[in-house]
Amino acid sequence: MSRIGKKPVDLLGGVTAAVSGQTVDVTGPKGTRSFTASDDVIIAVEGNAVTIKPCGSSKRARQQWGMSRTQVANCVIGVTEGFRKELEINGVGYRAQLQGGVLKLQLGLSHDVTFEIPSDVTVTAPKPTEILVEGIDQQRVGQVAANIREWRKPEPYKGKGIRYKDEYIFRKEGKKK
């Protein structure tokens, strides 16, 4: 039995959910998200909560049960609080600045990197060495942050590059004479 799937997803703070077939549409103050579940689960809105139940006792139904509950919960969190990833830039001369819908990165390459910001996320650069990626879809926020980080991953000797704020970089010792 899924411990996660048993818990109903509470709809608080002006959040409404509508179920049509296997699709759940969640609307809140920050926008609208939808999730389409597989046929292995039954989704229902009961009172002020969304409940998910498996359609049998097969292994796949039990797997989909917990995953579907988590996806619906992430939709609710996304439309109420939103998701955010914070990136830090370390290195001499490394910086970021926002120019319209483009993030311009100076990362020690022979050219400046221009990163087109997708329309479904918000990217800000409060300081030249910090980047904030925010949005209502957890997967999109994480993917955009990973795409930015991909331009210059942190290296283990000096720690230069783009890293997540809470990321620890295992440092290596250089050559000795």
pLDDT in tens, the chain (177 residues): 568 888 899 998 789 999 998 999 999 999 999 999 998 999 999 888 999 999 988 899 888 998 999 999 999 999 999 999 999 999 999 999 999 889 999 999 999 999 999 999 999 999 999 999 999 999 999 999 999 999 999 999 998 999 999 999 999 988 887
Asked if 158 and 115 sit in the same domain, the reply is yes
Number of domains within the chain: 2
pLDDT at 149: 95
Give the DSSP letter of residue 77: H
**Using an 8 Å Cβ cutoff, are 7 and 76 in contact?**
no
User: What SS3 class is residue 81?
Assistant: coil
Of the residues 56, 80, 104, which one is the last residue of a structural domain? 80
**Using an 8 Å Cβ cutoff, are 104 and 168 in contact?**
no
CATH of the domain at 8: 3.90.930.12
111 domain-assigned: yes
169 domain-assigned: no
91 domain-assigned: yes
Tell me the CA distances in angstroms from 56 to 22, 42, 67, 80, one per residue in order. Answer: 16, 10, 15, 32
103 domain-assigned: yes
Asked if 65 and 76 sit in the same domain, the reply is yes
User: What residues are paired with 31 via a beta bridge?
Assistant: 28
Residues 6+ apart with CB under 8 A from 172: 156, 157
Range of the domain at 134: 83-164
177 domain-assigned: no
> Is the whole-model pTM more than 0.75?
yes
Q: How far apart are CA 176 and CA 158, in angstroms?
A: 15
Query: Looking at this protein, which amino acid is placed at residue 157?
Result: Y
Asked if 98 and 60 sit in the same domain, the reply is no
Of the residues 80, 110, 138, which one is the last residue of a structural domain? 80
User: What SS3 class is residue 91?
Assistant: coil
